[in-house]
Amino acid sequence: MRDRAHFLLLNIGHFLDHLFTLIFATVAALALHREWGLGYAQLLAYATPGFFAFGVFALPAGWLADRWSRDGMMVVFFIGIGVASILTSFSQSPLQIGVGLFVIGVFAAIYHPVGLAIVTMKWKNTGMRIAANGVWGNLGVASAALITGYLIDHGGWRLAFALPGAVSIAVGFAYLALRRASIRMANAMPAARADADRRGFGPTEQRLLLRVSSIIFLTTAVSSIIFQSTTFALPKMFDERLHGLAQGLADWTAGSADGRGEVATMIGSLAFVVFAIASMAQLAVGAMLDRHGPRRVFMVAAAVQIAFFGMMPGLTDAAALAVALGFMLGAFGQIPINDYMIGKLASGAARARIYGVRYVVSFTVLAVSLPLIAFVYDNWGFDTLFRVLAIAASIIFCAVAVLPRQIPSAGTPPVAAE
């Protein structure tokens, strides 16, 4: 029972982590550009430092977790990000909200290296555990647009930061109550367990390990561009391309024919539906990872993205909604694959630090992607962005094609790619 509660709270943490990092995406698209008279691309500049913090601080977070307490760092995550979000709700200028987003990013950086280290060490069926945890994170991505759009319509953008902040603080105290004994204990692994975790690779296996590691970090970087571009820009893209559909649905649900329906809520709802359905792809991916390994699964996910990104330019309303669902299925489906491979390769005693390095790469690229989105959108619009993302998915497909069929791990000789 305590294990179930622990896993549930870790999953809620993943949900909140992605929720907090994407609140501003919907606030900027639907509220601040009107209230503060700034363009969408200008507002994105103030979110960039927060995403850099999201990446850069993952490594020290993993180091602290390995040296002190992983459960203790999770409590710091819940309470710290909640307080930071509440303080951000009081912002009166773009600079102030930029500082608030930076602090949110610092605390958000804790979750991935620490939470995933706990998940991959504590429970079996790694693929399904990571996938289930990933679904919660993706539901956080989906709910950011839905919840923020609703709160903008019913309380203003400040409430969109303050209310989730209060919820996170409450969850932090619940986690503290559940894991107090673990937090007091030393977090170091017993010597026998640490020795068992050290991998004894021969020369051939070391070469394959280098190849796999290189592919992991290349695909991590490129897939981060895709993930950030789709999740951050989707509310704005829906606002432009699905406005007629959203207005009609909002008027229909409100019983109105005069355009007074709550369009922001409907756009957020459509984004939520796409994100929520697409996140279920991770469950299928998790099951296939445990059965077939990452190479074949990764190639399918990349191929799906290439096809649907290529179809997207020029589409609007229902067609755009359907194709957006297609490329989000591929984008979300690939998320657990690199984490699965790291879980197979990484030493248990240093696992949080290695996940930290992975997420430094991932979230630093996320931050760099924001200026890319702004530049491409300002100069050529979303059609060109989708073409860029199709090229990025093609790079992933080519890289994954040279993965070994079996990932090297202790006691399991790797098999070269066919």
209 token code pair: 């390990």
Distances (CA, A) of 120 to 90, 218, 230: 38, 22, 27
Region 46-58 average pLDDT: 85
Residue 417 vs residue 159, higher pLDDT: 159
pLDDT tops 70 at residue 8: yes
Res. 418 pLDDT band, cuts 50 70 90: very low
Q: What is the pLDDT of residue 196?
A: 44
User: How much is the average pLDDT of 186-210?
Assistant: 53
* Mutual angle of helices 70-88 and 2-27, in 10-degree steps: 30
pLDDT confidence of 81, banded at 50, 70, 90? very high
pLDDT averaged over the chain?
A: 82
Residue 255 has a pLDDT of 64
| Identity of the residue numbered 310 | G
- pLDDT beyond 90 at 172: yes
B/e letters for 327-347, b = 16+ CB within 10 Å, e = fewer, are: bbbbbbbbbbbbbbbbbbbbe
> What does the pLDDT read at residue 256?
60
The hierarchical CATH code for the domain 2-186+203-400 is: 1.20.1250.20
- Domain parsing of the chain, residue ranges: 2-186+203-400
pLDDT computed for residue 171 by the predictor: 97
Structure tokens given for 174:
């619940």
Exposure string for 383-413, b = 16+ CB within 10 A, e = fewer: eebbbbbbebbbbbbebbeebbebbbbeeee
The CA distance from 272 to 285, in Å, is 21
Each residue's pLDDT tens digit, 92-143: 998 999 999 999 999 999 998 898 888 877 666 667 788 888 888 878 877 8
Segment among 79-83, 190-194, 384-388 with least mean pLDDT: 190-194
Q: Is residue 413 very low, low, confident or very high in pLDDT (cuts 50, 70, 90)?
A: very low
Contact 328, 392 (CB under 8 A): no
pLDDT > 80? residue 185: no
Q: Using 50, 70 and 90 to split pLDDT, how confident is the model at 393?
A: very high
The pTM (predicted TM-score) of the whole model is 0.70
Report the phi/psi class of residue 409: left, alpha or beta, with left for phi > 0 and alpha for psi in -120 to 50.
beta
Q: Distance (Å, rounded) from C-alpha 324 to C-alpha 205?
A: 40
3 state DSSP class of 383: helix
Structural contact between residues 44 and 385, judged by C-beta atoms closer than 8 angstroms:
no
pLDDT bin (cut points 50, 70, 90) of residue 398 is very high
Q: What is the pLDDT of residues 276-287, one digit of tens each?
A: 888 888 888 888
pLDDT in tens, 254-284: 666 555 557 777 887 888 888 888 888 888 8
